[in-house]
Structures are given as C-alpha cells and as structure tokens.
Structure 1
Amino acid sequence: MNNTKITAIAEIGQYAYKTQIFSGGHVIYADEPENLGGTDEAMQPASLLLASLGSCTVITLRMYANRKQYDLQHIKVELTLEDDNMATALTNITRKITFTGNLSNEEHARLMQIAEKCPIHKILSNPIQITTTS
C-alpha cells in the first residue's frame, strides 16, 4: 500500500456557513440547511461523509466487476446516517446496495463482499484518531 497523504483545506469567510473545500486541485462546498442558519447551497458535512462512502463503494465495485467482466450495468448505493446517533459512541450508517445487470447468485454475493473492502469503509470501520493543532 502506498503512503500517499490525502489533504484537504476547508475555509469559511463571512457567509453564514457556506464553506469552500479544496483538495487535489478541486473545489467543493459544504453548507448547513436554512433551519440551522445556513444558506442550504451545498451538502451538509455529514452528507459529504456519506457521499465519500457511497462513491468509494460504487467505484470499488465497478473496478472489480470490470476486472471480472461481470454483466453489471448499474450500481446504486443508498446511505443513511441517523442524526440521533451523532453524539453517541456508536455511529450507525445503513448502506443498501442495488445492482442492475445479469449477475449470478455467486457474483452478487462476491460483490457484496467486495463492498466491505472499499477504502473509505475500512477507514470508517477502524478507530480514528484526530490530532488538532493551531
């Protein structure tokens, strides 16, 4: 495994909560809904977390299916993070994966195993240490 560092920079100006996020030459935005004082112009940070898991899952599955030449036309991942769990010791994310294509039972089962191997899934499933400096 390579030791490449992935970096991101988040900045906020005088907007209510709209935040610019820079990484690898790309820019995305995060915001909060209006009922929380934001402008609702971008996804909430928790939605970005789910988007990371979902996109990593479908990319990992697509790579595997292409390599194995499975007849897999479409992959859909639906994710839910319960708001009630955000302040507790256990975070519960529900992930539902739907495949469209001509897959055997064995291929379907193998893809479900491969989903567990997506790098973001591995990161979120292990203890995470966050070191903050100023």
Structure 2
Amino acid sequence: MNARLVSVSEGRPLAGSIEIGSHTLTAGAHDPAGEDTDPTPVELLLAALGSCTSTAVRAAADRHGWLLDRVDVTAQFDPQGQIVRHIRLTGELDALQIQQLLAVAARCPVQRLLTREARVVTVPTVAARPGTVRSRPQPQ
C-alpha cells in the first residue's frame, strides 16, 4: 500500500482540493445548477480502480513479454450499485494469456480493498478560530 498522505481541504462550495504528494486535483459534488466542473469522489474511486487495473495488467504482460499493445478499462456503477468494469485487451494474446491477465486484474490492490471489509478509523480534530472560544458557566 502507498504510504503517502492524501489531504483534502475545502475549496469552493461543494468541492475539495486534493493534495497527494506534489500532485493537486479537485473533486466535488455535481453542482445543483448543472455545472460539471470536477469529478465526483465516486468517479475518482472508479478512476482509481481503472488505473490500478490497467497498470497491473500492463506490468504482468510486460513481465512475461506478451504482445499486449493496449489495455483500456472503463468502470461505472449499475442500477443495483455494483461496479461494472470492462477490460479491453488489444494485442496478439492467446486464450491462456488473456485468462491470466484477467486474473491479475482481479487481484489489483484497489479491487482487493473494495471487495474486502476495510476499516476506516476517524481521528477528529476541532480547531477554533482565535477569539471565538467561549467559556461555559461552571455548574455550582
């Protein structure tokens, strides 16, 4: 697993600024006015699955010296809430190589994380603005 810290700070309404190491991107809810300015957090999750799948398949094909010209992955949620992932492999691959590459795809770290029960531990931090801290009357 990646040990880099991912930080999200509130930006404009319904959007967050995401920092991952030296990389910055934004995500947010679709604007009620219909403006589609940023990917949503759910879309970023699907992108994480797609990119993890693609790189895992590419690495396996390269390691074996197989003639994989291209791997394309699309992912979306179906009406039942399942993630549907399409993997398109282009190249001179036999049936066994395709089967093995699809098995590698099923073991990519993001899929493993999504398909097992993962715990989220929340550590709350409350910061008060200077001058806004009020003391409560002490009970007598």
Whether TM exceeds 0.5 here: the answer is: yes
| Partner in structure 1 of residue 131 of structure 2 | none
User: 8 Å contact 1:32–1:38 — kept in the other structure?
Assistant: no
**Which one of the candidate residues 14, 26, 35 is aligned to 1:17?**
14
**Which one of the candidate residues 26, 30, 48 is aligned to 1:33?**
30
Give aligned-pair identity as a percent. Answer: 27
Task: Give me the TM-score of the superposition, normalised by structure 1.
Answer: 0.84
* 1:44 maps to 2:40: yes
Distance 1:84 1:116, change over 3 A: closer
| Partner in structure 1 of residue 58 of structure 2 | 62
Q: Which has the larger radius of gyration?
A: 2
Q: Which has the higher helix share?
A: 1
Residue deviations 1:2-59 (CA, integer Å, cap 9, x gap)? x75232110113x121211011211111022223x68522101000000000000000
| Partner in structure 2 of residue 81 of structure 1 | 77
Aligned partners of 2:28 and 2:106: how far apart in 1? 29
* 1:132 maps to 2:122: yes
Distance 1:4 1:50, change over 3 A: closer
Aligned partners of 1:84 and 1:31: how far apart in 2? 23
Identify which of structures 1 and 2 has the higher relative contact order when contacts are C-alpha pairs closer than 8 Å and 6+ apart: 1
Q: CA RMSD in A?
A: 1.8
Aligned partners of 2:110 and 2:84: how far apart in 1? 14
Aligned partners of 2:34 and 2:9: how far apart in 1? 15
Aligned partners of 2:62 and 2:19: how far apart in 1? 30
User: 8 Å contact 2:14–2:31 — kept in the other structure?
Assistant: no
Aligned partners of 1:94 and 1:83: how far apart in 2? 10
Task: Give me the TM-score of the superposition, normalised by structure 2.
Answer: 0.81
Aligned partners of 1:129 and 1:38: how far apart in 2? 34
How many residue pairs were aligned?
124
